[in-house]
Amino acid sequence: MPVITCIEDLRVLAQKRVPRMFYDYADAGSWTESTYRANCSDFEPIKFRQRVAVNMENRSLRTTMIGQEVRMPVAIAPTGFTGMQHADGEILAARAAEKFGVPFTLSTMSICSIEDIAAHTSKPFWFQLYMMKDRAFIERLIARAKAANCSALVLTLDLQVLGQRHKDLKNGLSAPPKLTLPNILDMMTKPRWCMGMLQTPRRGFGNIVGHATEVSDLSSLSAWTAQQFDPALSWADVEWIKQRWDGKLIIKGIMDAEDARLAVNSGADAIVVSNHGGRQLDGALSSIAALPAIVDAVGREIEVHMDSGIRSGQDVIKALALGAKGVYIGRAFLYGLGAMGEEGVTKTLDIIERELDLTMAFCGLTDVRKVDKSILIPGTWLT
């Protein structure tokens, strides 16, 4: 086992252990991947003010996100197909998040179902909802999330149409993988992944198969899903959701101050500044570049979260300094999961926590709730 010291080490290990079509699915961005790259590279020019001879004992990363106590302001982002990075991936990630003390968000497009997660955890988790044309199906999903005691609904609005990822098309992505010769050869070099998949029951898109009337098995799933994302989605649909969900509502996929204002008007409790990890609109701003204008517009009225491009604790604290109340990690936890299962997700969280804690100390602060723009060198972030 190589010595793992950073998220990049987990990425390299995941690439070795996860079959290529699933690794590529997690890692890739859309079209030229310019937004995907900018999500990470736009953090780099942002510089900290280093402080010395300040008492840095007794530091705390504890805070709240939507009123919920968190050990650090980092949540696990909703990701589809997660159970293909590692057998029972969603259950393992949810357990790691619960033990660590940060929120876990289950995707509509997950392999393990809402009920699977509820059965393997003891605290409420968050459920991410895609608005689909079949509104009766959405009503049943919301009822299932309520029955599972989910403490927040994360409504993702940036997937009315699908960004194209070249690698997925070239790899012929499917779950379970099509047994073509290249796929069989690739899987033979990934024995840990294959053994894991063989040892656990195949769950197969548990939020959808058996719950949407037209979908009885995995082969009818992709046709149904492809025509279910709703290009006609509007703010009236958010109101429709509000009438059916009385818990916390987080709106994800906001990249524009005008949309942020509309989200506030819709009665959301929080928004997530997110470009879906660079998987949707290629050519959009990076999330960290979009964040300051959105915080300026609505930050006094609503909690602003962000994701896309977070690979370190340094990234987390930069986002907090620019006004985010918390961030979500997508690929950073997927790499950990693909590399080492539950232990790998814990490793991801440990690495980010340590980096966040030490960076905060270098900036002369001991309480994460006090992080603001004053820890940054003025003019080093995009406005």
Binding-site members for FMN are: 78-80, 107, 128, 130, 156, 252, 274, 307-311, 330-331
Instruction: Please name which of 10, 70, 57 lies closest in space to residue 325, comparing C-alpha atoms.
Output: 70
Q: Rounded to whole angstroms, what are the CA distances from 27 to 37, 42, 106, 168?
A: 11, 18, 19, 10
Which amino acid makes up residue 283? G
Binding piece for ligand FNR, criterion CB under 6 A, among 3-11, 75-83, 119-127, 339-347: 75-83
**Which position among 86, 120, 276, 305 bears the catalytic label?**
276
Instruction: Please name which of 73, 147, 143 lies closest in space to residue 103, comparing C-alpha atoms.
Output: 73
Which amino acid makes up residue 265? N
3-state secondary structure 273-303: ECCHHHCCCCCCCCHHHHHHHHHHHHCCCCE
Task: Pick one of 19, 73, 80, 177: the residue that binds ligand FNR (CB under 6 A).
Answer: 80
Task: Pick one of 11, 276, 318, 347: the residue that binds ligand FNR (CB under 6 A).
Answer: 276
- Measured distance CA(324)–CA(290) in Å, rounded: 11
Q: List the x/- string, 175-214, binding to ligand FNR by CB under 6 A.
A: ----------------------------------------
Smallest gap from Cβ 217 to ligand FNR, in A, equals 20
Site for ligand FNR in 327-366 (CB under 6 A): 329-332
Smallest gap from Cβ 53 to ligand FNR, in A, equals 35
Q: List the x/- string, 244-273, binding to ligand FNR by CB under 6 A.
A: --------x---------------------
Query: Residue 185 corresponds to which tokens in the numbers above?
Result: 């050869």
Q: List the x/- string, 100-129, binding to ligand FNR by CB under 6 A.
A: -------x-x------------------x-
Sheet with 74-76, side-by-side order of all strands: 74-76, 326-329, 303-307, 270-273, 248-254, 152-156, 126-130, 105-106
**349 vs 365, beta carbon nearer ligand FNR:** 349
**29 vs 299, beta carbon nearer ligand FNR:** 29
- Measured distance CA(58)–CA(378) in Å, rounded: 28
Q: Centre a 10 Å sphere on the Cβ of residue 117 and count the other Cβ atoms it contains.
A: 23
Q: Centre a 10 Å sphere on the Cβ of residue 219 and count the other Cβ atoms it contains.
A: 9
Helix, strand or coil, per DSSP, at residue 246: coil
**83 makes contact with ligand FNR (CB under 6 A):** no
**121 vs 275, beta carbon nearer ligand FNR:** 275
Q: Which residues are annotated as a binding site?
A: 25, 78-80, 107, 128, 130, 156, 165, 252, 274, 276, 279, 307-311, 330-331
**107 vs 121, beta carbon nearer ligand FNR:** 107
Q: Is 150 left (phi over 0), alpha (psi -120 to 50) or beta?
A: beta
Q: Which residues are annotated as a binding site for glyoxylate?
A: 25, 165, 276, 279
**90 makes contact with ligand FNR (CB under 6 A):** no
Binding piece for ligand FNR, criterion CB under 6 A, among 50-58, 117-125, 256-264, 302-310: 302-310
For this structure, is 276 an active site residue? yes
Residue 198, C-beta contacts closer than 8 angstroms, at least 6 positions apart? none
Positions that interact with ligand FNR (CB under 6 A): 25-26, 39, 77-80, 107, 109, 128, 156, 252, 274, 276-277, 279, 307-310, 329-332
Which residues are tagged catalytic? Answer: 276
